[in-house]
Amino acid sequence: EAQVTQNPRYLITVTGKKLTVTCSQNMNHEYMSWYRQDPGLGLRQIYYSMNVEVTDKGDVPEGYKVSRKEKRNFPLILESPSPNQTSLYFCATRLSGSPTDTQYFGPGTRLTVL
């Protein structure tokens, strides 16, 4: 079954405690990205990756890091989380960078930073 998985699905943490949200896809997609969704603001892209070892900043990259060592995995790292990073996070993948490719989203990770 084609899928995008994220872990954890829910996380409550404290300011400054490093955390990683994993994202994995089994569709052999080249393009992966991370979004955050906040009320009234819609989905905003944090980082994206066109392929292995190729990553680039999205619209709101501050406070986040990513890596793409393997095609299937694209973890999101918060080195020192702050309360303004409390949000709903989605990983997304698509076959390539072409906008006509269907984009698939993971189930989301609800993060609360106290």
Partner 1 sequence: RKEVEQDPGPFNVPEGATVAFNCTYSNSASQSFFWYRQDCRKEPKLLMSVYSSGNEDGRFTAQLNRASQYISLLIRDSKLSDSATYLCVRTDSWGKLQFGAGTQVVVTP
The full DSSP string for 22-89 is EEEESS--SEEEEEEEETTTEEEEEEEEEETTEEEE-S--TT-EE--SSSSB--EEESS--GGG-EEE
Please report whether residue 103 would count as binding partner 1 according to CB under 8 A: yes
Closest approach of partner 1 to the CB of residue 95, in Å: 11
Among 45, 51, 86, 112, binds partner 1 (CB under 8 A): 45
The count of chain residues that interact with partner 1, using the rule CB under 8 A, is 23
Please give the residue ranges that form the binding site for partner 1 (CB under 8 A). 31, 35, 40-45, 48, 58, 88, 90, 97-100, 102-103, 105-108, 110
